[in-house]
Amino acid sequence: MNMMLPSDGSADLSSDSSAVASPRLTFRVPPAFFELPVHEKPDRIGEALIELAQDIYPAGTPELWYQYAAAQLPVVGQMIDAGVSYAGFCLLDLDGRRSTATVTASLLESVPGGEKATAASVAAELAGATEQSHVETVSLAAGDAAARFTTEIVSLPGEITDSGRPEEVQIGKIAVFLPLRRDAEMAFFELSTPCMDDWDFYSELFFNIVNTLEPDGGASTGDGSDTRQADSASPDRPGDPAKREVADGVAVPLQTRSVRDVFG
């Protein structure tokens, strides 16, 4: 994939967005989320990343913005090659500590042969794939889904750690697989965070985000399987900041290669 940064580190800040009619699936994310430009044309990704760096570090220098864009460029390229349709992340201050999490979304073929999957069949397949994860079915507003909870240890180089030394970090992940009724497809959402002290907050926020998914034309499976309400994993407590942030958030249409309606 040919993706280039502007040679002088500058960015064209003009907007060239086009309206998309009738997105079939949209969801809402908190306004604090930054979006990686996985929907951009290859020749625009470098400039879009510099614009993103300017949003994240408004008091930064052109050198800092360019370095950030250069570091993120291969990451975005890998996401696009993997079929990621949306990638957003937050940078928060929670109780005086820096905290971050990433949410991605993709459209998957449920079965290569075209057989339509159900939440229960997906959960059974996931549970049989590994013993190092917890799998269950959940009932979302858009239909029944399979959810997988995992953790993994990732080694970070000293160049990107606060201590300047290589460190091992535990990453917590939640993956949600929502079978769709058309074309044997599946909506896939994933939360990833290295901030395990904030796991309860992010897992609740993630399920609240996924629960805002709005399908058009009956996208859910409705397979009648025994499910646990996703909100039971994320109780609706009065004044809950996670729910309030999502309710106050912005609607995000998922993207495909050519338009910003990923699931359309």
- Asked if residue 6 has pLDDT above 60, the reply is no
> What integer is the mean pLDDT of 245-258?
44
> Rounded to the nearest 10 degrees, how much is the dihedral formed by the CA atoms of 213, 216, 217, 219?
-30
Flag whether 199 is in a domain.
yes
User: Residue 161 domain-assigned?
Assistant: yes
Domain-located, residue 204 = yes
Write the pLDDT tens digit of every residue in 93-125: 998 989 999 999 987 776 555 567 889 988 998
Burial track 12-48 (b if 16+ CB lie within 10 A, e otherwise): eeeeeeeeeeebbbbbbbbeebebbbbbbeeebbbbb
- Confidence band (pLDDT; 50, 70, 90) for 155? confident
Instruction: State how far the Cα of 60 lies from the Cα of 183, in Å rounded to an integer.
Output: 46
**Which residue has 């002088």 as its token pair?**
8
Q: Report whether pLDDT(262) > 60.
A: no
Domains identified in the chain, total number: 1
Which tokens go with 138? Answer: 């959940």
Is residue 12 assigned to a domain?
A: no
Mean pLDDT of 212-238: 46
In-domain check, residue 208 = yes
Highest mean pLDDT (candidates 77-86, 158-167, 232-241):
77-86
- Tens digits of residue pLDDT in 181-200: 666 678 899 999 999 999 99
Residue 232 located in a structural domain: yes
CATH of the domain at 164: 3.40.1000
Determine contact, residues 33/17, Cβ cutoff 8 Å.
no
pLDDT at residue number 189: 94
Task: Kindly report the backbone phi and psi dihedral angles of residue 249, in degrees, each rounded to the nearest multiple of 5, phi listed first.
Answer: -80, -170
Domain membership of residue 100 as a residue range: 25-34+88-253
Answer yes or no: is 13 within a domain.
no
Between residues 176 and 5, which one has the greater pLDDT?
Answer: 176
Q: How far is the CA of 116 from the CAs of 156, 177, 210, 222, in angstroms?
A: 39, 13, 21, 12
Task: Look up residue 67 and give its amino acid.
Answer: Q
**Does a structural domain hold residue 200?**
yes
Task: Look at residue 16 and tell me whether its pLDDT is greater than 90.
Answer: no
